[in-house]
A and B are shown apart, each in its own frame.
Chain A
Amino acid sequence: MMNIRVEKLKQTAGGRLILDDISLDFAAGAVNVILGPNGAGKTTLLRLLGQFDAPRSGEIYYDGGASSRLPRSGRTALRRRIGFVFQTPLLLAGTVEANLLYGPRLRGRSVSGAEIGQTLELTGLKGRELQDARQLSGGEKQRLQLARVMLLNPDLYLLDEPTANLDPISVKNIETMILRLAGSGKTVILATHNLIQARLLAGRAVFLKAGRLVQAGSAAEVLSRPLSLDIAEFSAAENIISGTLARRKERTVLVCGELVIEVVSERSQGAAAAVIRPEDILVSKKPISSSARNSFRGAIVAVTDLGLVTSLSVDCGGILFTVFITRISCAQMNLAPGIDVSLTFKATSVHLLPLG
């Protein structure tokens, strides 16, 4: 387990600001996810945390200790508590075993055959010891990188998009390993732009955009109640509707063309975007009476089977809503394109974001 805090971290490259004034805490002994679009600064932040590069300014505290004040030997000792997995696997030319033994050799430490066997078993590379590492498949290379780091038993794991470009089975394998690591008390920080992965793995999520920290908090909070439209759009929130706030009959509403959506808001004027999660919208064939303030009629435009759930696209007054229902209810209600349905959701289900 390792406690990490960064303070006012700034990094530049070729005169360009890559990270701008980042201050945050990571959760120790848990999975932390760094989210953000390409170019947000995720890899730059990970490289600073991994002590590969020095920041332009700011400080990183490892277990409370400022890293910039460390003497050279202390920095090497710190780096030996950190394991890094690169997005593009960096492997030594040679066998799988040679790759595994490189770390212990640098530390002047010997590892037993049992330790190697156990690591290979955990990462599903058993029997591959003598294979040329560069001949492995993409998923195997990524697992070898993880195995190489696990053998060194670091306190902190830094993983840079460890499942990018991998097949679904390899992704599953690596996700399982990451959860196990956090379960055994390791601090894991990983960069990803896979939302499903973030929800699955993360205790804590950090969202970066263009080098700035947009939001940090629990993964559920950041993904479900985003503080900015950037996150909502990035997290592929299905229903993002922009309009103007107004007061109507003692209530606050968001006017979006023909639709008037009732919301809960302290503000009652100005432009805003509403984010409504598909799972918060109730679908019925006939209008239902409920305490939910918002109910709209619309025609189904498309029905898409997503496996576990079915997604419906419904046109309500010119705005296309996406809603999820179970496959069974879809069949029971005989829902098909062209059929009119009612969409009902609470005012509190509408998450408002300021615009402009």
Chain B
Amino acid sequence: MHYGGKKKNKMEYILDGLKQGLALLFPPNREILQIVILSLAVSGGATVLAATTAIPSALFLALKEFRGKRFLVGVVNTTLSVPAVLIGLLVYGLVSRRGPLGTLGLLFTPGAMILAQALLAFPIITALVLAALKGIARDSRDLALSLGANRLQLALAVIHQGRFAFLTALIAGFSRVIGETGMTLMIGGNIKGHTRVLTTAISLETMKGNFEIGIALGIVLLLAALTINIVLQWAQGK
């Protein structure tokens, strides 16, 4: 390590790290590739799992009138501010050997990480879809009903109107969970080649002093976020 050399500019420490980081990516190092793939799989899986429950829940909350609806919406909005580490604690309790799901042996597996991240993404996706549907659900429902839609056609009409809201919510959920560190570390354990993902690897490698590996992984994380947002903008422009 040669940071802080008298003749060297302190910025060079960062620039060197950047250079070495890029070298690890082009061509990609096998270990880094594995980390990237696991990250996308875990966070993608968690987002899909959360979305399959969150979107129907949001549609239900937006379209149905029932007693206690306001309370339920309040609960969803409150869970938005539950710290990730508490969700980690909850999932740890569930899947650790002495917990209710202990026999499944899920602790320190990608499966447990997906479960925890899905729990983190669920309120985000529900709240965002609900907020977006609030403005459009009633109108698109009324319009479809007034022209004779049956129940299926009605649901499809609302989903069609809300398609960008769903996409935005999915991406917000995905961005949140792929950037999550503490909880993922608790549940996954950052086991090399098994549960090591981008964020846990960045924090570990940087703490070990492998700044360049941290930078390489950081670039991947940034690129992932950038790509997702470009895709989103493109889809909304269409």
Chain A positions within 8 Å of B, measured between CB atoms, are 50-53, 72-73, 76, 79-80, 83-84, 86, 90-92, 102-103, 106-107, 148-149, 152
- Nearest CB in chain B to that of A54: its residue: B65
- Asked if B146 CB lies within 8 Å of chain A CBs, one says yes
Provide the bound-state CA to CA distance between A90 and B150, in Å: 18
User: Is B144 a contact partner of A84 (Cβ separation < 8 A)?
Assistant: no
Task: Give Cα A25–Cα B148 distance, bound, in whole angstroms.
Answer: 24
Q: Is the CB of A79 within 8 A of B148?
A: yes
Does B153 sit within 8 A of A, measured CB to CB?
yes
Give the CA-CA distance A148 to B148 in the complex, in Å.
Answer: 12
Q: How far is the CA of A106 from the CA of B147 in the complex (A)?
A: 7
| Residues of chain B from 127 to 184 with CB closer than 8 A to chain A in the complex | 139, 142-151, 153
In Å, the complex CA distance between A292 and B151 comes to 65
> Using Cβ atoms and an 8 Å threshold, which residues of chain A touch B144?
106
Q: In the complex, A90 Cα to B147 Cα: how many Å? A: 11
Instruction: Look across to chain A and name the residue whose beta carbon is closest to the beta carbon of B140.
Output: A90
Chain A residues in 8 Å Cβ range of B148: 76, 79-80, 103, 106-107, 152
Shortest Cβ-Cβ A-B pairs, 8 listed:
A103-B147, A80-B148, A84-B146, A90-B143, A76-B150, A106-B149, A106-B148, A106-B153
Contacts of B153 in A (CB 8 A): 106
Q: A76-B150, A106-B153 are in contact. Are A90 and B145 (CB under 8 A)?
A: no
Interface of B toward A, CB cutoff 8 Å = 65, 139, 142-151, 153
Q: List 5 A-B contacts (CB under 8 A).
A: A50-B145, A52-B146, A53-B65, A103-B148, A106-B144
Are A90 and B146 in contact, CB atoms less than 8 angstroms apart? yes
- By a CB distance below 8 angstroms, the chain B residues around A79 are 145, 148
Q: A52-B145, A92-B143, A149-B147 given. 17 additional CB < 8 A pairs?
A: A50-B146, A51-B145, A72-B151, A73-B150, A76-B151, A79-B145, A80-B148, A84-B142, A84-B146, A86-B142, A90-B143, A102-B143, A103-B147, A106-B148, A148-B147, A149-B146, A152-B147
Q: Is the CB of B147 within 8 A of A52?
A: no
Q: Which residues of chain A are within 8 angstroms of B139 by Cβ–Cβ distance?
A: 90
Q: What's the nearest-Cβ distance from chain A to residue B165, in Å?
A: 15
Chain A residues whose C-beta falls within 8 Å of the C-beta of B145 in the assembled complex:
50-52, 79
Contacts of A52 on B, CB cut-off 8 Å?
A: 142, 145-146
With A and B bound together, what is the CA distance between A120 and B145 in angstroms? Answer: 22
Measured in the bound complex, the distance between the Cα atoms of B153 and A310 in whole Å is 56
Distance A72 CA – B153 CA, assembled complex (angstroms): 13
Q: In the complex, which residues of chain B have a beta carbon less than 8 angstroms from the beta carbon of A50? A: 145-146
Residues of B within 8 A of A148 (CB): 147
Q: Which A residues lie within 8 Å of B65 (CB)?
A: 53
* B151 contacts A90, C-beta separation under 8 Å: no
Kindly list chain A residues whose C-beta atoms are within 8 Å of the C-beta of B146.
50, 52, 83-84, 86, 90, 149
A85, closest chain B residue (CB): B146
Tell me the smallest distance from the CB of A242 to a CB of chain B, in Å: 43
Look across to chain A and name the residue whose beta carbon is closest to the beta carbon of B146.
Answer: A84
Chain B residues, CB < 8 A from A53: 65
Complex Cα–Cα for A106 and B149 (A):
6
Min CB distance, B155 to chain A, in Å?
13
Task: Compute how far the CA of A79 lies from the CA of B157 in the bound complex, rounded to whole angstroms.
Answer: 17
| Residues A102 and B150 in contact, CB atoms below 8 Å apart | no
Which residues of B are found within 8 Å of A84, using beta-carbon distances?
Answer: 142, 146
With a cutoff of 8 Å between Cβ atoms, the chain B residues found around residue A72 in the complex are 150-151
B142 proximity list for chain A (CB < 8 A): 52, 84, 86, 90
CA distance A152 to B142 in the complex (A): 16
